[in-house]
Structure 1
Amino acid sequence: MILNTELEYKGNQFPSNIISYKKDVDVLHFSTANNVKLRLTVLRDSVLRFRYTTVGKFTNDFSYAIDENASRGYNHLEISEDTEKYIVTTSKLICHIYKTDLRKSIYDVKDNSLICEDELGFHWEESYELGGDIVKMSKASQNGESFYGLGDKPEHINLKGKRFENWATDSYAFGKNTDPIYKAIPFYTGLHNGKSYGIFFDNTFRTYFDFCHERRNVTSFWAQGGEMNYYFFYGPKMQDVVTSYTDLTGTPELPPLWALGYHQCKWSYYPESKVKEITDKFRELKIPCDAIYLDIDYMEGFRCFTWSKEYFPDPKRMVKELADDGFKTVVIIDPGIKIDMEYDVFKEGLEKDYFCKRADGPYMKGKVWPGECYFPDFTRPEVREWWAGLFKELIEDIGVKGVWNDMNEPAVMDVPGKSFPPDVRHDYDGNPCSHQKAHNIYGMQMARATYHGLKRFNYPKRPFVITRSAYSGTQRYTSTWMGDNVASWEHLQIANIQAQRLAMSGFSFAGSDIGGFAEQPNGELYARWIQLGVFHPFCRTHSSGDHGEQEPWAFDREITNIVRKFIEIRYQLLPYLYTTFYHYSQDNIPMLKSLVLFDQEDVQTHYRMDEFICGNQILICPINEPNSKGRRMYIPRGEWYNYWTNELIEGGKETWVDADLDIMPIFIKSGAIIPKYPIQQYVGEIQMEQIDLDVYYKNGKEDSELYEDANDGYDYTKGRYSLLKFNLVGNEDKLIIRIHKRGQYITPYSNFKINLFGLPFEVKSIKVDNEDVSLEDVNFKDNSLIVTKEFTNLQIIG
């Protein structure tokens, strides 16, 4: 982009006046005198798509990001015009398109307030070096506007005043402000005057975003090729913007419940005896764990889809023995295929011509862990199909339950840029292109092929995949982690911000390498990181292993006990986390909410980045500094219970919270009903006979939910699930809980242990489904009671 305003017009070209307009159902076509065309599609009342071409015709409309099941349809569409503009009106928006230069302004239909307007609007610069255009869009920034999103950027949660680049990059030991890094998610939300909108720039080339960095009142985004093609979403609530974007780009199906358990990983656990030593220690110390990971050393010479005969002579037996002890085995698979004519995977890929080629015909050759490799072109459907088929032995025969895709930016060693050169060619599903266009989606298409392989060979169980690189829409196939971080207090804070930002960018199923990948944490840092990590949707310790051990017991007994305590809390909260995932999967609602996403009307939240809401009712604030006995934190508006003391706090202000090393600030929203399982060492270890419901009194109303199914498999898609909706109403002398159930799943337990917190009255009587029960019959003690059947109405009377 140009560095100052005076130069802004040099080299840039702009649309001239509109000479024709045509409406085709929900698509509006505008053409200008200098051959620019704008295609405006009304997807929904609050979602508009703007697509431009400068050469008079559009290329094939194809995107890897868009979910085929995305919602379409609107309630109202009306087009009118006056002397200076066309006016497009839906039930939510008014869009003005100016006849002189195609610039646009978008207003809220309710109060005619301005939401977003073009500054220069669409413009472009011919790139003789790259070919095609550098396509640009600039918007006027409104007073007090804030910006959020863009995936995994390790920056302040509020992006205002910053500039970013989207180019998937292997960023080993990245730091605060490193850019670009592993993911390219070109979606952001803007917020001003209490109203939020979003923009998704669906362009896979190297893209840039400037949030009032170059010029104080201008936000712009541009790409080194491809189309100016973006979607506009309107809230006015930020959560509605995020859910609309997530609906467009998709959500994952429900994972198996074990995938929400605790995972242990290291570069590398080998041989088999070391793996068994680690898993035995978890069971001996009674630290819950559901998954053990094998990094690249499990392979024969780092060849994907092979096993080292020396380290793992009988992988099928080992995987079964681990499974019998409650451990799912997850293995790493990278994209680089070693050049070796004795290696079946390479030989088949070569024979079928499945590898990426340079422009002049030779295969793309690069060094990765196995040495010199070729790389599959995952943008070809037949290559994805082949890749999916390669998982048969790993999954169906040996019994591996999850696959971890690494190095898929793609990362290449010993070359400038650490990736493919730009002249590498890709099929792009029948839209042939150079690597400049395919780079940002390479990891996504690898993860997609991996997901389909696991889905096929693990059926009827659900697949579990984790990827390092991603583009918008990758969340449909896989979970993710933030890449090769560092064992430092700064990185603990970065992990918190990245998880929040990814959730705001449609990608909730994410977590960091707990404790840091590079270097070695001390016990205090590891304990504080576990405390944060157990409230991230994906929860895994991972380390490079260069500097020592990083298992929960690698420090002293005090740290081991703290780590166990918090992993146990995660296992107790599995039904809450699973219910949160259900709402992410079904309703596109982010699993983590930055405070601004939770309560955008409170301007105090716009720059808060430590505190976040897990689900909808648990407030978390990690301790980011060593030797801390507590911290100041912002409690959002409303009433919140301190999880540890049950003290009720009025929000809307900053307050000091005590937090010794074995405590992290956790608050529960008043009125919440939090479901809890008994502590188990792995998912499915014990037959559930009882579930706890922690009920937090509120003088008023609050809704909560509990979603359950068989924890794996696809019966839930046929109605075999249970969704309990709790409606709590409290006043000075009574608490009423009404339950409405949907679904046909019969839970394995019949007992509900109800733990009441914060009651302002002494309990005198209890009614279950309008019948009086004696306090003895429900084992009433210390404000806890047990109901031995599903009920629809519970009254606690003072």
Structure 2
Amino acid sequence: MGPSRNWKKTLGGLSVFWLMAQAQTQSTPTASSSSSPPPQYTLPVSANEAPPVIPNIRDPLAVDAQTACPGYVASNVKQTASGLTASLSLAGHACNVYGTDIDSLNLTVEYQTTDRLHVEIVPTHIGAGNATQYLIPPSVVAKPGVEESNAESDLEFSWTNEPSFGFEVIRKSTKDVLFSTKGKKLVFENQFIEFASPLPENYNLYGLGESVHAFRLSNNYTKTFYAADAGATTDINIYGTHPFYLETRYFTQSPSGGLSLVTTNEAEPNKNYTSFSHGVYSRNAHGQDIVLQPDGITWRAIGGSIDLYFFSGPTQPEVTTSYLKAVGLPALQQYWTFGFHQCRWGYKSWSDLEDVVDNHIKFGIPLETVWTDIDWMLRYRDFENEPVGFDYEAGNSFLQRLHDGGRHYVPIFDSAIYIPNPQIESDAYPTFDRGNETGSFLKNPDGSLYIGSVWPGYTVFPDWLSEGAEQWWIDEMVLYYQKTAYDGAWVDMSEISSFCVGSCGSGNLGLNPVHPPFALPGETKNPVLKYPEWFNVTNTTEAAAASSALASFSSAYPAPTSTGTASYVRTTPTPGVRDVNYPPYAINNVKGPLAVAAISPNATHADGTLEYDMHNIWGHGIIKATYAALSKVFPGHRPFIIARSTFSGSGALAGHWGGDNWSNWPSMAFSIPQALQMSILGIPMFGSDTCGFADNTDMELCNRWMQLSAFFPFYRNHNILGAISQEAYTWASVIDASKSAMTIRYQLLPYLYTLFYHAHTAGHTVMRALAWEFPNDPSLASADRQFLLGPSILVIPVLEPGATSVNGVLPGLIEGHEKWYDWYNQTAVPVPSQVNTTIDAPLGHIPVFVRGGSVLPLQQPALTTRDARQSPWDVLAALDKDGNATGDLYLDDGVSVQPNATLTAEFTVQQRKLVAVMNQGGWVDGNSLRNITILGVDSVRRAVKFNGRPVPRRNVHLDEAKHTLVVSGFDISAWAGDHWTLEW
């Protein structure tokens, strides 16, 4: 069959001889034509190996481009209506250190808005010789332009040619240098771009996702951008690419009246500080290393252009809003999506799903949506149900009952498409045929189909730059909906992942369907799944049964290996020629060579663009296509998408989950900084696989995690095939803990929905870091073990096994700036003796606090969001230290992209008077007002009045010990009319 021919075709001559030797293990006799498939062929492990590389940042032989290269000089500088333009030319002899130097560049500087500055450097001539300088079309990723010519900005751009071209961005109001390449050389080659800027000592940098890392980024850390199917492991490149960071600097007032920069480790307690934040976005989709060191940041990309946007802030909310307006404001999700979701890899039938629904009802646990992993598919093929367990007739009956009960169903859709075995008539796959007829799949450089391998076997991959792919995907999703009435889409494997290097299926389709080159979880040759630490202490009964669980997660996603004798590949640049499979600069990719566990970089799109230039935005492409498809399936409704690989702007279309984490305490703890990172990157609809995906969970871990995730926007329990069941009803204590936290969540659904409305319309954050809400306290700069949901709800979870208390901070309380109320007993928290205080948190209890100054409209908890939306309203007002509070509410039908009816309400409390002002936009909410609770009331000095009329004493209850006033007995619809008032 000559598989070596296919390696050569897809990877080029550098490594062909090594690959030929590795690939020989695939050679088998051609499968005979038959109506029944032969025994399944398993790809060898060597299919996913390639000659190893050593990342440049760890290579002792790496050349320092700053030393070797000449930099550029600027000339022909011209002022424009919005900024300036200039020409850049090499300042000396070309260095060609990691590619071919580009001798002529164009600089464009634009003051696009009052708070956004654009700096772009591109080759003067874009063409075949400079093909790697792929400029992302605005149709693929939003490209903001000038909105206000001659905008008065707080940012100031300057440049110099001494000793070579460099530029600087300054905040005029503080004279603070935000970004400067002065003193560093600009390197711009056809496979390498480098620029750098200093940063203050102990800087506070956030973003540069996606990563599993502390929220405040380390100053000795390399963030690599190359989308990888690598599992949610710390400090590596994983699924998404978001080249944006936010930096916060703290200052004190100097005696002369100026500002003096203060590092967080120099900050003193109880001292007044001022902070300023700014943002930087690099619109480049190529593989990159962003090197963070104690003295600064260095960007190194293996292609693209310099396309920088600076956001002046000066506060985190303003920076975030400006960034999200540039890349795309977050989607307003459908109301039902904020309910609880249950999933696992291992639900084998509609009957299994029905049992899950019935058990949640039986134990009184809210459940909104059931999900299926790849089990639903016929031999892991998109758009075809497994007939045993997921037949269409039984599915229609089950889904009808599910929908009648106010619940929903979401299946997984994988990114690769099976290519059928031409020698087996029964292996026909119309989805592939239709896509192939419309030219919807990626090609090899010679024009043949690029054929990799994913779950179903040898597969092809949609080409989102082709004319036919998006419409083909829309048509397939519409056709599938006609057979199975799903409610949303879960998009997986979209980095995009492949289980072999190169077009390994070319010439080998007679072997299909092939087995992945690793054992699946649950297959008997795998070891026993692990339990989390402390398991034997708290779960003795389960520990005795541990041997029944199969397959470790690591065996399903093995790290690439290579022979011990193989030497590292170091590519020498060839003038004018690109080596896309082994670029001269090796990024710190977790998988090593770019082609391992992913589509090879030389896979070719319809317009000739190589995957090398598009890899990090492939996942964004399938999100866009899925959004278009769901818009066709559900006209006028907001598509619900949870996707794995994302790019800047993906949050305008989809949500995201944290990927394949582990059932252990660190994975739970890291879910908080993951969520905060996604919040400033514009994907507020985020959640982790609650209780952990890989390995076995246990009662204590699941107890704590189900409570923590109840305060994340996306709330889903999901675990791996072969592990123990981890539905909440598996343990009595987890039932109670889940119901306790879900009661709060479902009461807060109107608040959560309103937060998303503000995210969608104004770029506000939903989950918030303490440092954002309390920007003048440097001690909170790295706080990521607790968080705020919006401005008003503070959550301090237990993140360690065996604990019955947790240390936490209630910001501003000890200084007297803030009041906090315990959610459960509705009393003000006493001022502690120290900032970091110990809070009781026995198993089953998650500390939750309401910020003084908040007004929260609440509804009653129910088993579905539909029923919760039909319940009476409560209003909770928590007074601040001055007796004031504010809040708001947004309502609509919860599904429409452009609702034809809305309702907003604004709440204010001043001088013992709560006023609700309604803006009637046609949405009618007929639910009654049940009660109003005011926290922080010392006394009632006069008759309590509602709309100017005294409230009967029987409906007024003042708890003097708790300083809580509760007023009830209202006989009105909560939001009818234009206002109502309560006085006390």
What residue identity is the alignment partner of 1:30? Answer: A
The correspondence for 2:599, drawn from 416, 420, 424, is 420
Q: Is 1:401 the counterpart of 2:504 in the alignment?
A: no
Which structure has the larger Rg? 2
What residue identity is the alignment partner of 2:158? Answer: H
Instruction: Please tell me the root mean square deviation across aligned C-alpha atoms, in Å.
Output: 2.4
Deviations 1:252-281 (Å, cap 9, x if unpaired)? 432211111100000021212111111111
What residue identity is the alignment partner of 2:172? Answer: V
Q: Is 1:648 the counterpart of 2:828 in the alignment?
A: yes
Give the superposition deviation at 1:329: 0.8
Residue aligned with 1:471, SS: coil
Deviates more, 1:186-195 or 1:783-792: 783-792
Residue aligned with 2:844, SS: coil
Change (3 A) 1:664 1:122: farther
The correspondence for 1:691, drawn from 867, 870, 873, is 873
* Cross-structure match for 1:334: 414
Q: Is 1:369 the counterpart of 2:455 in the alignment?
A: yes
Deviations 1:81-114 (Å, cap 9, x if unpaired)? xxxxxxxxx3322221224433222222324333
* Cross-structure match for 2:357: 279
Deviations 1:135-182 (Å, cap 9, x if unpaired)? 11200112442110122311111113121101111113x4332x1111
Q: Is 1:389 the counterpart of 2:475 in the alignment?
A: yes
* Cross-structure match for 2:397: 317
Structure 1 length-normalised TM: 0.91
Q: C-alpha distance in 2, partners of 1:220/1:788?
A: 64
Q: Is 1:107 the counterpart of 2:170 in the alignment?
A: yes
The correspondence for 1:209, drawn from 261, 286, 290, is 290
Q: C-alpha distance in 1, partners of 2:198/2:117?
A: 18
Change (3 A) 1:257 1:153: same
Give the superposition deviation at 1:424: 0.5
- In 2, are the aligned partners of 1:154 and 1:494 still within 8 Å (CA)? yes
What are the within-5 Å matches in structure 2 for residues 223-372 of structure 1? Answer: 223-313=301-391, 314=393, 315-340=395-420, 342-372=428-458
Bigger strand share: 1
- In 2, are the aligned partners of 1:120 and 1:137 still within 8 Å (CA)? no
Q: C-alpha distance in 2, partners of 1:72/1:776?
A: 61
- In 1, are the aligned partners of 2:165 and 2:186 still within 8 Å (CA)? no
The correspondence for 2:757, drawn from 547, 558, 582, is 582
Q: C-alpha distance in 2, partners of 1:739/1:577?
A: 20
Change (3 A) 1:61 1:688: closer
- In 2, are the aligned partners of 1:630 and 1:656 still within 8 Å (CA)? yes
* Cross-structure match for 2:78: 22
Change (3 A) 1:389 1:772: same
Q: Is 1:547 the counterpart of 2:547 in the alignment?
A: no
- In 2, are the aligned partners of 1:144 and 1:192 still within 8 Å (CA)? no
Q: Is 1:62 the counterpart of 2:130 in the alignment?
A: no
Deviates more, 1:264-273 or 1:685-694: 685-694
Q: C-alpha distance in 1, partners of 2:276/2:688?
A: 31
What residue identity is the alignment partner of 2:470? Answer: R
Change (3 A) 1:756 1:364: same
The runs of 5 or more residues in structure 1 that have no matched partner are 78-89, 127-131
- In 2, are the aligned partners of 1:465 and 1:478 still within 8 Å (CA)? yes
* Cross-structure match for 2:230: 171
Give the superposition deviation at 1:36: 2.9
* Cross-structure match for 1:773: 950
Change (3 A) 1:714 1:409: closer
Change (3 A) 1:532 1:306: same
Change (3 A) 1:125 1:712: closer
- In 1, are the aligned partners of 2:859 and 2:869 still within 8 Å (CA)? no
The correspondence for 2:792, drawn from 617, 623, 638, is 617
Give the superposition deviation at 1:205: 0.7
Structure 2 length-normalised TM: 0.74
Change (3 A) 1:564 1:381: farther
- In 1, are the aligned partners of 2:746 and 2:868 still within 8 Å (CA)? no
Q: C-alpha distance in 1, partners of 2:88/2:307?
A: 17
Give the superposition deviation at 1:795: 3.8
Residue aligned with 1:501, SS: helix
* Cross-structure match for 2:109: 40
The runs of 5 or more residues in structure 2 that have no matched partner are 1-55, 91-103, 127-132, 251-274, 423-427, 502-559, 561-595, 813-817, 960-964
Deviations 1:630-682 (Å, cap 9, x if unpaired)? 11112222221122233424599221111111211211110211221111111
- In 1, are the aligned partners of 2:442 and 2:603 still within 8 Å (CA)? yes
The correspondence for 1:505, drawn from 670, 674, 681, is 681
* Cross-structure match for 2:30: none
What are the within-5 Å matches in structure 2 for residues 491-530 of structure 1? Answer: 491-530=667-706
What residue identity is the alignment partner of 2:772? Answer: L
Q: C-alpha distance in 1, partners of 2:920/2:183?
A: 52
Q: Is 1:672 the counterpart of 2:854 in the alignment?
A: yes
Change (3 A) 1:24 1:397: farther
* Cross-structure match for 2:627: 451
* Cross-structure match for 1:724: 905
Give the superposition deviation at 1:781: 6.7
Give the superposition deviation at 1:778: 4.9
Q: C-alpha distance in 2, partners of 1:561/1:298?
A: 31
Q: Using the aligned pairs only, state the percent identity.
A: 24
Q: Is 1:570 the counterpart of 2:745 in the alignment?
A: yes
- In 2, are the aligned partners of 1:496 and 1:532 still within 8 Å (CA)? no
Q: C-alpha distance in 2, partners of 1:317/1:142?
A: 62
What residue identity is the alignment partner of 1:531? Answer: Q
Change (3 A) 1:8 1:71: closer
Q: C-alpha distance in 1, partners of 2:868/2:678?
A: 34
Q: C-alpha distance in 1, partners of 2:80/2:396?
A: 58
Q: Is 1:183 the counterpart of 2:361 in the alignment?
A: no
Deviations 1:192-247 (Å, cap 9, x if unpaired)? 232211111111110111222xxx31211121111111111111112211111111
- In 2, are the aligned partners of 1:205 and 1:223 still within 8 Å (CA)? yes
* Cross-structure match for 1:741: 919
- In 1, are the aligned partners of 2:660 and 2:693 still within 8 Å (CA)? yes
* Cross-structure match for 1:85: none
Q: C-alpha distance in 2, partners of 1:252/1:163?
A: 28
* Cross-structure match for 2:199: 141
What residue identity is the alignment partner of 2:290? Answer: F
Q: Is 1:792 the counterpart of 2:979 in the alignment?
A: yes
